[in-house]
Amino acid sequence: MTDPFRLLSTYFWLIALAFGAFNYFRADQNVASAALSADQEAEARIYLRRFAIAGALPWVIMGIGQFTGSVPSIWHYFRPQDQNPFVIAWLAVMFLQACLFAWWVLLAGGARKILEYNLMSVLGQSKTKPMSEFGIKLLAALGPLFVLVWVFMASSMNAPLPQ
């Protein structure tokens, strides 16, 4: 029998991709059932696809790193100080996505689009209690800072790797 902790350590990226796909299909059904014009529905689906692809990209990078054997487990992503190229790429993609999201939400009207099309549902947020425009902007503004703090904390704690 295979150890569940070992499976989770090795295939967390696959679980994350599965959750992302589930949330995408659920959000796509929400768009189909919403009272939107044909043009609005088409625009909402474009945004949903972009969100889903952006959400999957870090997990694909993690999966490639683990599948090729360059990164043995998810726990190595808590050690950026080891300078593994896949860990650095994963962190860079997370930071760049946070910056792009902040720019889009704060400077390009993205908060209004997120509310109009309930785009947070592709990230797993419930349709029954949508986030406020202020909450979306706050989340977007804090995103890049959160990633930087996470990298600093992960580097500082020198986490031991499970054997």
Which of 62, 44, 55 shows the shortest CA–CA distance to 124?
55
Over residues 62-79, the mean pLDDT reads 93
The pLDDT score that the predictor gives to residue 6 is 84
Q: What is the DSSP letter of 83?
A: -
Please say whether the beta carbons of 159 and 79 come within 8 A: yes
The pLDDT score that the predictor gives to residue 36 is 86
Give per-residue pLDDT as tens, 14-60: 999 999 999 999 888 888 888 889 999 999 999 999 999 999 999 99
The pLDDT score that the predictor gives to residue 152 is 94
Determine whether 37 is exposed, middle or buried from the number of CB atoms within 10 Å of its CB (0-12, 13-18, 19+).
exposed
The pLDDT score that the predictor gives to residue 127 is 62
Which of 14, 2, 154, 147 shows the shortest CA–CA distance to 73?
14
The pLDDT score that the predictor gives to residue 128 is 65
Give per-residue pLDDT as tens, 83-142: 999 999 999 999 999 999 999 999 999 999 998 888 887 777 766 677 899 999 999 999
Which of 88, 108, 97 shows the shortest CA–CA distance to 143?
97
Which of 98, 80, 100 shows the shortest CA–CA distance to 89?
80
The whole-angstrom separation of Cα 34 and Cα 37 is: 9
This prediction has a pTM of 0.89
